[in-house]
Amino acid sequence: MSHPLRLGIAGLGTVGVGVVKIIRQQTALLKARTGREIIITAVSARTKDCDRGVPLNSYAWEDNPVALATRDDVDIFVELMGGADGPAKIATEAAIAAGKHVITANKAMLAMHGHPLALAAEAKGVSLRYEAAVAGGIPVIKTLTEGLAGNEITRIMGVMNGSCNYILTRMEDSGLSYQEIFAEADGLGYLEADPQLDVGGIDAAHKLAILSSIAFGTKVDFDGIVIEGIERVSIEDINAAADMGYKIKLLGVTQMTGRGLEQRMQPCLVPASSPLGQLQGGTNMIVIEGDSIEQVVLRGPGAGMGPTASAVMGDVCDIARGFQLPVFGQPAKTLTSATPAKSTRPAPYYLRMGLVDKPGALAKIATVLGEAGISIDRMRQYGHADTSAPVLIVTHKISSAAIDIALEAMERTGVLASAPVALRIEEG
């Protein structure tokens, strides 16, 4: 095609401005690689009169993103507003209904409404693309839907929120508490306006839900994810884990089992020598396992202007080339409803607790673990204060249900000086 591909961009925050910059700076490169000129015809944002560091006066302005999405001179509606519902969803639906392609970085919208949006886009014969919604600049969506299309995916796991990884690695490097590093990360602008989206694991769980759908041919099922944030991870846990050869990461894992689809986002211990264990700062990493490729490790920046705008432009270029495939890698009407796994695959667990410093306290804990069917692999006691004796236990593989039973029983022993902490160990 010789006529320009025309974009309408809704949302001129960090990513939106990044997209504008790439299109302005790489005009010749984009045309050489796609065979078409790529231009911006119109934009929309909450505030018009704002210095965003890039000239916008050559583009038409729309106060209403729905009006932008349905303009005759827009071929691709680029949704960078965010939010699971509201203007982002309404404008996306309007664009699809008007026969426009849609590119979005909105993981929340896809996690909550991905299947109906995919059905609508495929019925209209338009693309709905979202590489920027998962892991920033890492091309994980393209890897799953294209490069690994011939594989039966067995498991995906990874660090999918750079802010949490920054907090956890910074705690270890500095020896400071969670509260101190949280305040630091917030001051540096690393956290969402609602920090709970980051530290509570919700942002990363949105991404995991999308990857699960592609990997296992299921409808996006965000509600089926077990979510636990990093708020209760202490510097004591990080130091103790390091002492035993582990690092603590907010880890997303999804796999299809005989019990159903297992999806969880929770802090876990991983071997310090593993790729995930060596991941530092705000970087993301996705590990994909398949029957033919065995394991692929993708590592890169998970957020930021350049990486996320780069992902958006990858989708723009595919549409410019005329490349189109189903939204989740196979026709949306063939996606099945996931049956959430009622229990997780057995794994070793790390337990930390403070015991009252008196004879028989440890024996009571050992008895509780034995009655729950939990055997001890390793145990360590550290120097203690006058009233509390810190104890660390690593179990052999056990179910999460057994751990829950044991933790509840521990509370009744009368020997706990502090609430026990249990973290799963993901070894493979």
CA atoms within 13 Å, Cβ hemisphere of 331: 5
Q: How many domains does the chain have?
A: 3
Q: Please, are residues 178 and 235 in contact by the beta-carbon 8 Å criterion?
A: yes
Band (pLDDT 50/70/90 cuts) for residue 1 is low
Residue 144's domain comprises 140-301
Closest-CA residue to 111 (of 145, 143, 139, 134): 134
* DSSP H stretches of helix in 217-304: 235-243
At residue 295, the 3 state secondary structure works out as strand
For residue 114, give the H/E element and its range.
helix 107-124
CA–CA separation, 16 and 190 (whole Å): 18
Residue 417 has pLDDT above 80, yes or no: yes
Residue 2 has pLDDT above 80, yes or no: no
Band (pLDDT 50/70/90 cuts) for residue 382 is confident
Assess if residue 314 is contained within a domain: no
CA–CA separation, 95 and 79 (whole Å): 10
Give the pLDDT score at 384: 64
The dihedral built from the CA positions of residue 70, 5, 85 and 98, taken in this order, carries a sign that is positive
Q: Please, are residues 45 and 17 in contact by the beta-carbon 8 Å criterion?
A: no
Q: What is the mean pLDDT of residues 28-56?
A: 95
Mean pLDDT of the chain: 94
Dump pLDDT digits (tens) for 233-267.
999 999 999 988 999 999 999 999 988 999 999 99
Domain co-membership, 160 together with 249: yes
Give the pLDDT score at 104: 98
Domain co-membership, 124 together with 151: no
Residue 413 has pLDDT above 70, yes or no: yes
Name the one residue in this structure whose structure tokens are 């179990």.
395
Domain boundary among 133, 162, 183: 133
Dump pLDDT digits (tens) for 309-348.
999 999 999 999 999 999 999 999 999 998 999 878 899 9
Band (pLDDT 50/70/90 cuts) for residue 418 is confident
Assess if residue 358 is contained within a domain: yes
Residue 386 has pLDDT above 70, yes or no: no
Give the pLDDT score at 428: 65
Q: Which residues contact 408 (CB under 8 A, 6 or more apart)?
A: none
Q: What is the mean pLDDT of residues 223-232?
A: 95
Q: What pTM was estimated for this model as a whole?
A: 0.94
Give the pLDDT score at 299: 96
Domain boundary among 243, 267, 301: 301
At residue 110, the 3 state secondary structure works out as helix
The dihedral built from the CA positions of residue 215, 254, 80 and 306, taken in this order, carries a sign that is negative
The dihedral built from the CA positions of residue 272, 274, 278 and 282, taken in this order, carries a sign that is negative
The single-letter code of the amino acid at 171 is M
Residue 59 to residues 8, 45, 74, 213, Cα–Cα distance (Å) = 9, 13, 12, 37
Considering 107, 207, 247, 249, which one is annotated as catalytic? 207
Dump pLDDT digits (tens) for 47-62.
998 889 999 999 999 9
Domain co-membership, 109 together with 243: no
Domain boundary among 133, 165, 190: 133
As a whole-number percent, the residues of the chain with pLDDT over 70 amount to 98
CATH number, domain containing residue 403: 3.30.70.260
CA–CA separation, 52 and 65 (whole Å): 18
Residue 192 has pLDDT above 90, yes or no: no
207 is catalytic: yes
Residue 383 has pLDDT above 80, yes or no: no
CATH number, domain containing residue 47: 3.40.50.720
**Exposed e or buried b for every residue in 410-423, given b needs 16+ CB within 10 A?**
beeeebbbeebbbb
Give the pLDDT score at 385: 61
CB under 8 Å, gap of 24 or more: what pairs does 18-24 form? 18/305, 18/306, 18/308, 18/309, 18/310, 18/312, 19/78, 19/80, 19/309, 19/312, 19/313, 20/54, 20/56, 21/54, 21/305, 21/309, 22/309, 22/310, 22/313, 23/313, 24/54
CA–CA separation, 123 and 312 (whole Å): 23
Domain co-membership, 292 together with 155: yes
Q: What is the mean pLDDT of residues 77-94?
A: 96
Domain co-membership, 245 together with 288: yes
Give the pLDDT score at 102: 98
